[in-house]
Structure 1
């Protein structure tokens, strides 16, 4: 049966006069309605209870039980209460009509009736019934959504209060605290009254606050950002910070979740420092021995021996780079390396980085294109060149022969942005947020095949953030990546 074959509605007709029943039934069936006809009020009540119709046409004058009594019983039953009932009667007195409406009827048609009038009133009340049902359904759906929301809010509130992780909710872009949990108060050392209403900057919660606030104002979520928290007692804590966005009463806020890694960081730094220094001495001696063997002063090697020696030298050099990068990164992160800031021409820094990487580009058959921008800014030139050469090195390593790598810069009123663009394999979307973390590489085999340590981008990020700037990447898999370095311009420069 198709939708067009279905009856328009199910109508129950209750009338003790067979002629009226036949007339109404024929009329309604011809107009596409399903009709059930009964001559007794009690039979009509039972039929409506067993299979509730969409509408009831009810006569007033019937033996044993009149129409008013039938209507009252139907309205008293939850199964039939909402069915619209239209009275059809020869009684024309106002009192009779009032009594019908008081019993629960929705309309009153006097006999003899006009067929078109009956049809019009039936359609009207069926439409009203459908609209009421739709409204009721929407209300029930809305009530369920409200209950679900309340349940989610209660669950969130419970997790928020009881979480062992410090959690805070702040406004965007001001970074003003509107709610924090007890774990946040415990790690920061502040009281609730001291925190609520203040901004992150006003509480001086860390030395990287400016960089963090710029990142917060981008309104992008990020996870596991290492951050040095400064407590009320000026104690420094290392935390991993994640930021997501939540909607409260139609307003977007930032949800900050921290994980205290202070002890883990201390042990990690001690281990890295110990291992790095303990490895450097024997590696230096090993490199000296390998160089001595390669010089031929201890005798000539066979061709196979020379190949083995070259492999040893290559891997020793890779280990030394790894150790140097680890120590370099830790010194920068701990503030043991002071940035020697001075006024520099950006064009000179870009040219120097390009010249240092030109040999590598030539060896990989990569065209290196640089568009120097002559503009003075206050930076540590050696560290900025280190950053640019690192970005160029990555772009060259992950480009195919005959590809191009570009480096260009543009300025705004308050900042300078340097971009390094390649046509390489790109970075998957799920790795965009973590690519600047330590030992993070797109492919685990890169360390072996490309000779990388997985620390270069982490070093770049720390250098850039030490300058009060930020670094990020835009990438499309199999099309290439563009790394952006934004550095602030000093008032003197501006």
Structure 2
């Protein structure tokens, strides 16, 4: 199928110029629409947007600068390239054309070969821009469909996983001694899967803006200690230093912050190469700062933001910081509380993951 010819709107109040440009551009294979003033030009563009506007500057009632400004002010026509063609040849005139939104400027009297070359160039750029926009739109649509499918699958996984977890809770106390470790390991893996499912569902909710933190007073030292107690299988061979005041209370969603702490502590305990982890809860003027430090392989500075991206993952010396969603979830959860999160690390020197929470979750002033 032959693509439609590209269209050019030529605006000039001099009939001889219109006739000349009309004939020459048609010979080049373009579809040309000539108009003689700015008001007609604006109507023509809005009725049938062209691929390019070839615009004179000096016209009665409305000059070319004003026409271009109006086109650029309208989102429906702002992307149409405007090429000025004028007898005004001073630098100031050209600057005014570019300030109005023009992409190029040709001085009269013109050589048509120059006009044709510039028209061709800007039409090619226009076509490439459209192709890129269409490609991005297709990618966004595919990503949305993928996310919807993932959400449906994960949602359906939640019930059988919770049933498995309940079954393991029932079986664990009655398991024979020789099977106790096996049952405990299976239960831990199932709990990990349940947490991953919860992260996927909550990330989707956060991205859509439908998940809002349920704020209550949370004593962070008590919460951190309870999370650490639940990680006993990982703590057995690790020296954990816990530094915190007896009380450090913020307004937060207890469950969301619990899962942030769980992510950061689990990573640190798994990656501690020499068995040293430090957890610090520090009062600040506006709230609290939480630090989780390990002596693991560390992360190069250029990767510090990658690990917080959705499905971002960094692998160093066969040790992984973050699951596919763990740190992305942590970032979204902390930022939903108007806090900040980050990492201080260098390769071979361990890592300190940190986040801050305001005493009362509210936008920073």
TM-score (norm 2): 0.51
RMSD of equivalent CA atoms = 4.4
Equivalent residue in structure 1 for 2:303, among 431, 453, 471: 431
Question: Deviation of residue 470 (structure 1)?
Answer: 1.5
Using the alignment, how far apart are the partners of 1:315 and 1:376 within structure 2? 32
> 1:443 is paired with a residue of what secondary structure?
strand
Structure 1 partner of 2:259 = 386
Structure 2 partner of 1:342 = 216
Question: Deviation of residue 313 (structure 1)?
Answer: 5.8
Structure 1 partner of 2:333 = 463
Using the alignment, how far apart are the partners of 1:491 and 1:330 within structure 2? 21
Question: Deviation of residue 464 (structure 1)?
Answer: 1.1
Using the alignment, how far apart are the partners of 1:472 and 1:185 within structure 2? 38
Structure 2 partner of 1:453 = 323
Using the alignment, how far apart are the partners of 2:245 and 2:180 within structure 1? 43
Using the alignment, how far apart are the partners of 1:342 and 1:275 within structure 2? 32
Question: Deviation of residue 276 (structure 1)?
Answer: 0.7
Using the alignment, how far apart are the partners of 2:185 and 2:296 within structure 1? 27
Task: Tell me whether 1:397 sits opposite 2:267 in the alignment.
Answer: no
Structure 1 partner of 2:59 = none
Using the alignment, how far apart are the partners of 1:491 and 1:294 within structure 2? 40
Q: Is the 8 A contact 1:426 1:479 kept in 2?
A: yes
Question: Deviation of residue 378 (structure 1)?
Answer: 2.9
Question: Deviation of residue 466 (structure 1)?
Answer: 0.7
Question: Deviation of residue 402 (structure 1)?
Answer: 3.8
Using the alignment, how far apart are the partners of 2:184 and 2:317 within structure 1? 20
Using a 3 Å threshold, how does the CA distance of structure 1 residues 314 and 369 change in structure 2: closer, same or farther?
closer
Higher helix share: 2
Using the alignment, how far apart are the partners of 1:262 and 1:481 within structure 2? 34
Using a 3 Å threshold, how does the CA distance of structure 1 residues 432 and 293 change in structure 2: closer, same or farther?
same
Task: Tell me whether 1:364 sits opposite 2:237 in the alignment.
Answer: yes
Using a 3 Å threshold, how does the CA distance of structure 1 residues 282 and 385 change in structure 2: closer, same or farther?
closer
Equivalent residue in structure 2 for 1:272, among 147, 150, 162: 150
Q: Is the 8 A contact 1:354 1:370 kept in 2?
A: no
Structure 2 partner of 1:328 = 202
Using a 3 Å threshold, how does the CA distance of structure 1 residues 315 and 441 change in structure 2: closer, same or farther?
same
Using a 3 Å threshold, how does the CA distance of structure 1 residues 312 and 470 change in structure 2: closer, same or farther?
closer
The structure with more radius of gyration: 1
Q: Is the 8 A contact 2:307 2:322 kept in 1?
A: no
Q: Is the 8 A contact 2:238 2:277 kept in 1?
A: no
Question: Deviation of residue 314 (structure 1)?
Answer: 5.8
Using a 3 Å threshold, how does the CA distance of structure 1 residues 377 and 404 change in structure 2: closer, same or farther?
closer
> 1:404 is paired with a residue of what secondary structure?
strand
Using the alignment, how far apart are the partners of 1:461 and 1:468 within structure 2? 10
Q: Is the 8 A contact 2:296 2:349 kept in 1?
A: yes
Unmatched segments (≥5 aa) in structure 1: 1-161, 163-181, 190-195, 197-258
Task: Tell me whether 1:421 sits opposite 2:299 in the alignment.
Answer: no
Using the alignment, how far apart are the partners of 1:311 and 1:267 within structure 2? 35
* Alignment of structure 1 residues 78-93 onto 2, 5 Å: none
> 1:425 is paired with a residue of what secondary structure?
coil
TM-score (norm 1): 0.39
How many residue pairs get aligned? The number is 233
Using the alignment, how far apart are the partners of 2:180 and 2:284 within structure 1? 51
Using the alignment, how far apart are the partners of 2:174 and 2:290 within structure 1? 46
> 2:308 is paired with a residue of what secondary structure?
coil
Using the alignment, how far apart are the partners of 2:361 and 2:205 within structure 1? 29
Equivalent residue in structure 1 for 2:141, among 231, 242, 263: 263
Question: Deviation of residue 486 (structure 1)?
Answer: 2.5
Using a 3 Å threshold, how does the CA distance of structure 1 residues 307 and 452 change in structure 2: closer, same or farther?
farther
